[in-house]
Amino acid sequence: MPPVPDSLVTAARTLRRERLIDLFGNDPTRVARMTLEWNDWRIDFSKERLSTDALAQLIAHADSCNVAHWIAAQAAGEKINLSENRPALHTALRQGGDTPLYVDGRDIIADVRATQRRMGDIARAFREGQRKGATGLPLKTVVHIGIGGSDLGPRLVCEALSADRAPIDVAFVSNVDPEQLTRALKGRDPATTLFIVVSKTFTTQETLANATSARAWLAAALPAGSDPGRHFLAVTANVSAAAQFGIAADDVLPMWDWVGGRYSLWSAVGLSIAIRHGYQAFAELLEGAAAMDAHVRNAPLASNLAIVLGLIGWWNASVLAHPQRVVVPYAQALARLPAWLQQLTLESNGKRVKRDGSPVDGPTAPGLWGDTGTDSQHAFFQWLHQGTHEIPVEFVVPIRAAHPLHNQQTLLVANALAQAQALLIGRRGEELHRELAAQGIQGPSLQPAAAARICPGNRPSTMILLPVLDAYNLGALLALYEHRTFVESVLTGINAFDQWGVELGKSLAKPIVQALAENRALPDGTDASTRALVEYVRALTPKTG
Ligand code: F6P
């Protein structure tokens, strides 16, 4: 990967000293030049700490990093996940038509279509009351068990889509903390509950523990001799482990090695979406994502949403060195977007070496977090406006509501625009002094009163406006974030598709579980702090059995 060009480093140094609002005064064409449109979307990044000149240099840098080539290589199924020798073909899951795409000599599109047909059949049968449980009663509610990529995407989409398609009740259970499963099962009728166990590996500790407890809950409640297996479906690449768990092969839908967990909601991992909102909604989600894929593959660098947003993300994180990124969806339906994005961006790009094993040149993925507007205005926006850090904020705002309360929707959207404006312009001391003096505050109390109210402004943000949050636009939005994340990985030289850092904690948990559950000794060499903590937990854990 070419190093960060000196000209960009110089531009960053200059821009750090600029007031963002002055950049607008110096260039009347700024908004037009820093706004992208796609369908009825508008992405305004004119409030970012960026000049049109720096933007042009960033586009040139994307070109010299061969970003377009990498996007094509990903879509064509090249094995770009080098450390696992796999392609990253989530885009194939939403590709329309039947043009074959081969992985190791096998047409994966044929497999995808066959799985989609099964998903459609299962969803239809369930919604029409034809899928029966062990007692012969139709199954009515779903508990989706999975974690990470096997949870976050389907959960986000299930919650985001409008309730007007007679949604089926779907609860999500991810945490090994039994509290979540216990709450999900409370009030549910075992005779009419379907569990969908989603795990690419079918070895994930949390998922297996929850699935095992769910099976015990069923077995305790169903008539003796009945088959709890009828209340389970699995989505996995490990069919034999699902079979060992007691789920019949006919009730297992596939996942494939060529799809990463955090990119998998478009596969059978999204079965809960198809059941909850109907297969048509799932198909529209795929269509929106496919439309975004086509845009990202074909649009020139400068008007390519994923490339420009990826460049801005890289500029903010790796050149301006902002350690955090805040995402604020102004839509209650998108409450789970920050959590999904955390896994997408931080598991993909939270790394310190490049594909060739050499260290990356500067900071990589910034910490990402956020919450819905307007709630977050009454929580962390104070910090964004008056804290000591400059943190880029991303506003995601569907304009039209899927409900009839249009006045409230207007309030919501207006607040998003106002917050971005406030971050930009702030509130200056002179104006405050005048206002406070007019209110009779004078003498020594005037200065601290004014200082406490000053908002420095000059804080960057991007505004993503969507016409409405339907399945199509949601699919396109999530696909855009996937592509943008990939673009950022290309600019830093990272492999976005492995996650070796997660494995260490998983393997270290095993001896600690054995120490606590079976009173086994910790392995030699266990550090003193962990040893002492285990002893303390042991002492306070009630003895069972
Ligand atoms: O968090 C690590 C991880 O491997 C994720 O990449 C994945 O989404 C999650 O665990 C769940 O894995 P599985 O689907 O195999 O249960």
Does 266 map to a domain?
A: yes
Annotated catalytic residue, options 128, 378, 430, 518: 378
Q: How far lies 138's CA from each of 133, 225, 234, 250, 319, in Å? A: 6, 19, 19, 18, 57
pLDDT score for 199: 98
For the chain, the domain total comes to 4
Domain assignment present for residue 498? The answer is no
200 lines ligand 1 (CB under 6 A): yes
Q: Does residue 468 lie in a domain region? A: yes
Q: Are residues 41 and 137 in the same domain?
A: no
Q: Which residues of 204-216 are buried (b: 16+ CB within 10 A; e: fewer)?
A: bebbbbbbebbbe
Residue 146 near residue 343 (C-beta atoms within 8 A): no
347 is catalytic: yes
Contact indicator for 126, 139 with CB cutoff of 8 Å = yes
pLDDT in tens, 458-507: 999 999 999 999 999 999 999 999 999 999 999 999 999 999 999 999 99
pLDDT at site 162: 80
Same domain, 465 and 455: no
Atom number, ligand 1, closest to the C-alpha of residue 147: 11
pLDDT beyond 90 at 14: yes
160 with 219, same domain: the answer is: yes
Please check whether residues 464 and 453 belong to one and the same domain. no
Clarify whether 506 is annotated catalytic: yes
Mean pLDDT check: name the lowest of 45-59, 77-91, 437-451, 524-538: 437-451
Residues 350-407 pLDDT 10s: 999 999 999 998 899 999 999 999 999 999 999 999 999 999 999 999 999 888 888 9
Mean pLDDT for 441-448 is 90
What is the Å distance from ligand 1's center to 84 Cα?
15
Task: Assess whether 175 and 32 both reside in one domain.
Answer: no
pLDDT average, residue stretch 260-268 = 98
Q: What is the CATH number of the domain that holds 108?
A: 3.40.50.10490
Query: Is the distance from the beta carbon of residue 153 to the nearest atom of ligand 1 less than 6 Å?
Result: no
Last residue of a domain, one of 256, 283, 310: 283
Give start and end residues of each alpha helix (H) in 315-464.
Answer: 337-341, 348-349, 381-386, 406-425, 429-438, 446-453
User: Does 313 sit in the ligand 1 pocket, CB within 6 Å?
Assistant: no
Say how many Å lie between the CA of residue 146 and the centre of ligand 1.
Answer: 8
Average pLDDT, the chain: 95
Residue 288 lies in a domain: no
User: Average pLDDT for residues 48-60, to the nearest whole number?
Assistant: 97
Q: Which residue has the tokens 């994923």?
A: 306
| pLDDT per residue as tens digits for the range 169-220 | 999 999 999 999 999 999 999 999 999 999 999 999 999 999 999 999 999 9
Residue 261 CB–ligand 1 contact under 6 Å: yes
**Same-domain status, 103 and 199:** yes
Whether residues 191 and 163 fall in one domain: yes
pLDDT band at 545 (very low <50, low <70, confident <90, very high): low
371 and 269 belong to one structural domain: no
- Ligand 1 atom closest to Cα of 264? 8
Per the structure, the complete domain to which residue 443 belongs is given by: 426-459
Same domain, 353 and 305: yes
- Which residue has the CA at smallest separation from atom 3 of ligand 1? 148
**pLDDT at residue number 361:** 87
Which of the residue ranges 46-60, 219-233, 414-428 would you say has the lowest mean pLDDT? 219-233
Nearest atom of ligand 1 to the alpha carbon of 201: 15
Does residue 69 fall inside a structural domain?
no
